[in-house]
Every structure is written in C-alpha cells, then in structure tokens.
Structure 1
Amino acid sequence: MCFDSFEKERFDAFEFIVLIPLPTRSMLLMIPAHDLIAMYLAIELQSLCFYVIAASKRKSEFSMEAGSKYLILGAFPSGILLFECDRTTTDQFLETSL
C-alpha cells in the first residue's frame, strides 16, 4: 500500500497509521516465542490487523464481504491450532535436556 493509492481511493482513515506497523511488530514477537501460546497470540494479532485492512474500504460491499470471509476462514485454522496446543503435553518449543 502506498500513499499515492490512498490519495486516489480517498482513504482518510487514520487506522492505517496503526494497522501497518502492528502486524510487523507481531511478526517480530514470533521470533522469541518459546511457548505455543505466545506464538498463537502473535499470529492472531497479525491476522486481526489483516482482517481489518481487507475490510477497510467502507463504501464497497466487496470489501466488507472479503473481510468477513477472511475472518470466517481464519477462525477455523485458529481453532485447530488451539486444539493442537491443548493436545500436546508440553508447551515449549525448545526443550533442553542436560
């Protein structure tokens, strides 16, 4: 997304100031994640920002439809990941056995 396209489409939404750096920071939170829950929270923070960006064009019905479909299709892998985190016996990525 560049600022020229914002001017063409007349996006005056101030949310983009937050919605662009926030997924980047959540990607950086996945690097030191040693727990599955920390990884899940970083992925969910990133995906929620992308859902809002997908549905950001308020006057277009296609944008709202895309955002809602993205949310529904993102909920299923999220639930499967949480179910798998619950099924595992340990929540650590790195186990050190000395």
Structure 2
Amino acid sequence: MIRHLVLFKLNEGVERDDPRVVEGVAAFGTLGDQIPELRFWECGWNVTDRPIAYDFAITSAVDDAAALKRYLEHPAHVAGVKPWAEFATWVIADYEF
C-alpha cells in the first residue's frame, strides 16, 4: 500500500471562508467516493495555531504505484486540485506502508 499525504498552505491574505477555498474543500470532500483506486480518504483543516503548521491536509491510501498514477490522473482529482493552485501551495509525500 502507498500512503499519499498532501499539506496545503493558503496564500497570504486568503482565508478559509474565501469562496474559492470553500469550493475547493467541498470538491476534496467528495473525492473518496468518486475514485475507485482510493482505499482510504480523509481530509480536514489543521486545528493547531503554530507558525510551522499547514492549513489543510489530505491523507489517502492506494494499493500500489499504478493505482497512485490512476488516482492522480483521474478527472475528479485533476478537477479537484486545479482551483487550489489559485489560492494555496502544497507539499506531498508518498510512502509505502
């Protein structure tokens, strides 16, 4: 199995209630039900107030590298990620477990 982690940092001046952010979070909320390769899907807002913390996180799992590739290329994933480029930056980690 491969765990796929993504941490998002909202751009300077962008708040959680920005309509673009609200729409982006809503899109991510449905991905777990739309993409068959996902064995696990969870996302949510950071609950701590620390300078090094990111704002939003996704953790998911897929069976293998081929499933990860299909997930990343799935139209629902591509559409869900695209708006985030307008208001956030992110880092990822993919690891086997």
TM-score scaled by length of structure 2: 0.30
Question: Between Structure 1 and Structure 2, which shows a larger proportion of helix residues?
Answer: 1
Higher relative contact order (CA 8 A, sep 6+): 2
Structure whose alpha-carbon radius of gyration is higher:
1
